[in-house]
Structures are given as C-alpha cells and as structure tokens.
Amino acid sequence: MTTQDPRIDVVILTWNDGELLGGAVASALGSEDVELEVIVVDNGSQPPAVVARDPRVRLIRSDINLGVSAGRNLGVREGAAAVVCLLDSDARLHPDTLTVLLEHLLADPEVAMVVPVFDDQAPEASAGPAPTAMVKAQRMLGRRSDYHAVAPAGSGEWDVDFGIGACQVFRRSVFDEVGGIDERYFYGPEDVDFCLRIRESGWRIVQVRDAGCIHPPRRRFRRSIDRRTLQHGLAVLRHLWRHRRFRSEVAP
C-alpha cells in the first residue's frame, strides 16, 4: 500500500445484532495497511446498538428500520472515501482482506467492484453469473445454496456478474453513477440488483481467490410461507423482470 491509495469507508448495517456487531467492527479495525473509517448504521435496534470507543468508528442511528438498501445508502453517503466496503454484521474480515481486495480494485480502472471468496466455501457460493429464474426459485425453496461456477482452475481472479452484499468493495464514483442501492428493495435481492446495474453500465466486477472473509454459509431449508417470504418473492419477481434483458458475458 502507498500513501496515494484511497482511504476506505467500511459500512456496517445492524439491526438488533447485539454482541454480534462487535466482531464485525473489531475485524475491520484490525485491517492492516489501510486507512479506514467504520460507519455503523443502527437500523432502529432495540435497545440501540453500542460500538467500540475508537476515533475510527462512527455510529449513525435511525429510529426506524429503513430496510437494507436505505440503511446502507445512508452509511455510504455519510462517508467520503473513494472506496467503500459494505460488510455484514455477521461477517469478519481477515487483517489482509481489504488490502488484497483494494490491490485488485486499483489494478484495473475498468473494475468497479471486487468481492472475496468466503472461508471454507466454494467461490460459487457467493458470486457468479446473473441468477436465472430457476436458480432464484431453487434458492428460495431451499433446494440449492450456490450459483453457477465460473472460477477457472488455478486463476487468482475472474469476472462475475455479482457478489453477495456480505462483503463488497467498490468505487464510490460508481456507486454515485448508478444511483446507489435501489431503496425500493427492503430486503433482498438489492445486492444482486446493485451489481447488475453496475455491469449494465459497462463496469467489471471481479472475485478474488486470495481475499478471504468469514461469513456463515447459506443454510438450506424450506421456508414456510409467511408475509416476509411473500414480500421477498415479490421483490425477486420485480428483480427478474427489471433485468430480463440482461445478457451475461460471464460463461458458467
């Protein structure tokens, strides 16, 4: 890393996460060879979230749950760094995660976003080509937990259409260019939509093999049909219709 490299804003959204939040914040603060600010957005937690007393940590409180999209947008727009990392409250960065991701991001001006391979998971568990209607249906029903594989054997990085929002590192200028995360999505699949709009704008998204990150794998189960499931299903249908003309250049 050099002094010319940009600072990074690490945005962590929390809602009733309790002590879980502290691990995500501590992992970000433990990052090596980067200058960062950790912006925690408390999305209406009860009781309110508590964060470490550190000059690099800033807490923003919303009295209501704004949803994932609006909450993350709030955090990103409160920062000023040229590079942003979105990090889930149940994710944990390794000391070198941000360094490795940043090096790959800055190596090519056509790359807008870089994402890791999560520890003990295949690359396709968290990234890949744009999900088809069949893949989305299988995931909603708990029939599959991964996407189509695109990682070439022996390669250190490869292009993907999206990486899940548990850990995304991207250029602030591209976030502004595409209008941020669509706040009409309350909870899912706002992260995939964000990535596809970046790809539709002509940018690359790259997954990096050596950039590790701890995040629990998707659990495979059949969801009961409740209000939240129906709301998510409607959001998925809207997403699929919105991107119905998307043509992936990432070969599965």
Domain of 14, CATH number, reads 3.90.550.10
pTM across the whole model: 0.90
Assess if residue 227 is contained within a domain.
Answer: no
Report whether pLDDT(189) > 60. Answer: yes
Q: Show the beta-strand stretches assigned E in the chain.
A: 8-14, 36-43, 57-62, 83-87, 92-93, 111-118, 127-128, 157-160, 162-163, 167-171, 204-214
> Which residues does residue 10 pair with via DSSP β-bridges, in sequence order?
38, 85
Q: What is the pLDDT of residues 61-110, one digit of tens each?
A: 999 999 999 999 999 999 999 999 999 999 999 999 999 999 999 999 99
- Indicate if the pLDDT at residue 122 is higher than 90: yes
Whether 226 is covered by a domain: the verdict is no
Residues 167 and 188: their CA atoms lie apart, in Å, by 15
Q: Is 55 a domain residue?
A: yes
The answer as to whether 1 is a domain residue is no
On whether residue 213 sits in a domain, the answer given is: yes
State the residue range of the domain holding 89: 8-130+147-218
Number of domains in the chain: 1
Distance of CA 184 to the CA centre of its chain: 17
- Residue 58 counted as domain residue: yes
- Which stretch of DSSP H or E encloses residue 138? helix 133-140
Looking at per-residue pLDDT, the higher value among 116 and 3 belongs to 116
Residue 88 lies in a domain: yes
User: Is residue 21 included in any domain, yes or no?
Assistant: yes
pLDDT in tens, 139-167: 655 666 677 788 888 899 999 999 999 99
> Is residue 2 scored above 70 in pLDDT?
no
